[in-house]
Homo-oligomer: A and B are copies of this chain.
């Protein structure tokens, strides 16, 4: 078993309203960042996990997203990187 560090992006599905993103965009406009046209706020998870190889670590992380980490109705997830920790 090797320890891997898996980085995961979870973001609101395109087309689904993201009120937190709208609020952040409004706050950025108020601060003078008027060129911002859209903001979407998701989660960034970094997992340290033991696995026999990187492919297994990636597949296990995807199952974690399906079962717990991401909301399958409103969110998309993406395993960004899998690297030895």
What residues make up the interface of A, taking CB atoms closer than 8 Å to B? 1, 3, 9-11, 21, 24, 27-28, 31, 33, 35-51, 60, 63-64, 67-69
Contacts and interface: CB of A to CB of B under 8 A. Distances in A.
A47 B43 contact: no
* Copies of this chain, count: 2
A42 B80 CA distance: 14
A49 B68 contact: no
Given A27-B68, A31-B68, A68-B28, A48 B44 contact: no
Nearest to A25: B47
A26 to B, nearest CB: 11
Contacts of A60: 33, 35
